[in-house]
Structure 1
Amino acid sequence: MELRVLRYFLAVAQKRNITKAAQELLISQPTLSKQLADLEAELGVQLFIRGHRQITLTDEGEYLQTQAREIIQLVEQTALNIKGQEVISGKISIGAGESIAMNRIMQILSGIVKDYPDVKVRLISGNADEMETALQHGSIDFAVLMGNRSLNNYHHIQLPEKDQWGLIMRKDDSLANKVEITPEDITGLPLLMSEQAIEEHRFQSWWGNLDRKMNIIGTYSLLFNAQLMVA
C-alpha cells in the first residue's frame, strides 16, 4: 500500500463521495476510482459499499480507516522528528483522559508554545487503554494515564495530583446537599458509570455487598456526554 493511496482512501472515507473527494484531492474521478479499485484488489476485500448518493464503509473499510489514520500520523511525526532544522519546530502529541493533572501539562505546553511558536500541539482524548495502545503504536508521544497500571515498559514520572471520584446529579436533586455520598445513598438510582472503572472493579470495595442493588443503566468513557445524559 502506498501512502498516497492511503491518503486517497481517507479522503473518500471522510467525504463519503468519490466526486467530492476527487475535487479536494485535485485529481480526476476516474483516476481516484481506479486507485480505490486497485487498493481493494490488492487487499482482497471490499472497502466500500457504493450507493446512489453516497458510499459507506464495510467493516474492513472501517478497520483500514482507523489504521490508515495512525499510519499517516506516524509517518508525518517521524518526518518531523528526523528533519534537521535550525528553528525548533514539530508536533507534540499527547493522549490523556479527563484529569485535574492535565492543568499541569497544559501549563508546560503553554510555555513551550510561547518559547517555540513553530511547535504545534496535538491533544487526543480517550481512556487509559486507548492511550496506551496509541503510545505503543507511536501515534502519540506522551500519555497521561490514570489508575494503577504497569509502567515497566515506559519512561515515566508520577504526577502529584490526585483525582477523586464523585457523583454528578441535577442541582435540584436531594443528594446535591450532601457533603459525602455513601453506597446506601445511590442504591436503586439509575447510574451511569465509568466503563473502565466497571471493568477494573474499581468500586467493588466501596459498595461491598450492595453491588446487586446498584442500578447501572449505562457506561461512559469520557465524562462530557455523560453529563448531558444526567441533565
Structure 2
Amino acid sequence: MEVRVLRYFIAAVAAESISGAAERLGVTQPTLSRQFMDLEAEFGHALFIRSNRKLRLTAKGERFYERAKSIVELCDRAKREMLEEDELAGEIRIAAGETPALKTLARAIKRLQAVAPKVRCTIVSGAEPTVKAELHSGVTDFGVFVGTADISAYSTLRLHAKDVWGVLTRADGPYAGKTRIEVTDLVDEPILCSSQAFERNEFAGWLNYLARDLHIVGTFNLLYNAYLLAQAGVGHVLALRGIINPEPGSGVIWLPLYPKLEADVIVAWEKQRRLSKPAQLLLDLLREEEAALDA
C-alpha cells in the first residue's frame, strides 16, 4: 500500500466516482480501477459499492477512509516539519474542551505569534472522546481536558485556573431571587447535563446521597444549544461559568453551585511523541504564563 494510492482513494470518495477522480488527478480510469482492486485484494474486503450511480463506501470502506485521511495527513505533516525544521513555521493543532481557563493558553499563543509569525494554530473543540481521538490520531499536538478524565497515558500540565460549575436557568423560574444553587434546590427539577459530565458522574460527590434524586431530562455536547433549551424552560442546565454569558433580555441567568464545585483544566500531549519546535515553544511559553501566576 502506497500513500499515492491512498490519495487516489480519498479523491475518489470526494468525487463520488472513479471517472471524476481520474479526471481531477490526471490519470486514466482503468489505472484507478486497477489500483482500487489491488487495494481491496490486499485488505481482503470490498471498499466500494459499485453501481451506475454515485460511488458509495462499504462499512469497511468507511473505516478505511478515516484511516487513509489520517495517514495522508501524517505524511504531509512530516514533510512540512522536515522542510520547516530550521525555522519556526508550520501548524500547531490543539483539541480542547470549551473553557474560559484557556485564556492562559491564548496569551501564550499571542506571544508565539510575535516570535513565530509563520506558525498557525488550529483549534478543534470537543469533549473528552474528541480530544482523545485527536491525540491518538497523531496529527494533534495538544489536548485540553476539562473536569474528570483519564489522563494516565499523557504528559500533562495542570492549569492554575479552574472552571466553576453552576446552573443556567430562567430568571423568572423557580430559582428567582436566589444568588446560588444548593443541592436540595435541584431535587425533582428538570436538569440538562453535558454528556461527558453525565457519563463521568462528575456531580456524584457534590450531590452526595441525593444523586439518585436528580431528574435528568436530557444531555448535550454543545452548550449554546442547551442554553436555548434553558431559555425555553425545558430544564435547568448544569454549565461551567463563562462559556455562555446570557444575552441581555434572554431571561436566562447563571447561578453558582454551593458549596462551590470546580473542574480542573489540564493540557496534555502524548508521552512518546517528540514535539515540533513550534509546539515545544508554545508549551514553554504556556509554562511561563503559569509560573507568572505563582509570582
What residue number does 1:49 align with? 49
User: What secondary structure is seen at the aligned counterpart in 1 of 2:93?
Assistant: strand
Alignment of 1:8-157 (within 5 A): 8-50=8-50, 52-83=52-83, 85-149=85-149, 151=151, 153-157=153-157
Q: Which has the higher contact order (CA 8 A, sep 6+)?
A: 2
Q: Using a 3 Å threshold, how does the CA distance of structure 1 residues 167 and 57 change in structure 2: closer, same or farther?
A: farther
The CA RMSD over aligned residues, in Å, is 3.0
What are structure 2's unaligned runs of at least 5 residues? 232-295
What is the TM-score with the length of structure 1 in the denominator? 0.80
The whole-number CA distance in structure 2 between the counterparts of 1:205 and 1:216 is 17
Moved more, 92-101 or 58-67: 58-67
1 or 2, which has the higher helix percentage? Answer: 1
Moved more, 133-142 or 100-109: 133-142
The whole-number CA distance in structure 1 between the counterparts of 2:79 and 2:171 is 50
Residue type of the alignment partner of 1:202: E
Residue type of the alignment partner of 1:219: T
Does the CA contact (< 8 Å) of 1:95 and 1:125 recur in 2? yes
What residue number does 1:6 align with? 6
User: What secondary structure is seen at the aligned counterpart in 1 of 2:91?
Assistant: strand
Q: Using a 3 Å threshold, how does the CA distance of structure 1 residues 61 and 192 change in structure 2: closer, same or farther?
A: farther
- CA distances 1:152-184 after superposition (whole Å, capped 9, x unpaired): 554322211111223234565444653222344
| Cα deviation, residue 87, structure 1 | 3.6
What residue number does 1:211 align with? 211
Does the CA contact (< 8 Å) of 2:197 and 2:203 recur in 1? yes
Does the CA contact (< 8 Å) of 1:98 and 1:222 recur in 2? no
What are structure 1's unaligned runs of at least 5 residues? none
The whole-number CA distance in structure 2 between the counterparts of 1:72 and 1:151 is 27
Does the CA contact (< 8 Å) of 2:128 and 2:149 recur in 1? no
Please tell me whether Structure 1 or Structure 2 has the larger radius of gyration of its CA atoms: 2
| Cα deviation, residue 131, structure 1 | 2.0
Q: Using a 3 Å threshold, how does the CA distance of structure 1 residues 152 and 207 change in structure 2: closer, same or farther?
A: closer
Corresponding residue pairs, total:
231
Residue type of the alignment partner of 2:141: D
Percent of aligned positions that are identical? 36
Does the CA contact (< 8 Å) of 1:97 and 1:222 recur in 2? no
Residue type of the alignment partner of 1:92: I
Alignment of 1:191-230 (within 5 A): 191-230=191-230
The whole-number CA distance in structure 1 between the counterparts of 2:41 and 2:72 is 21
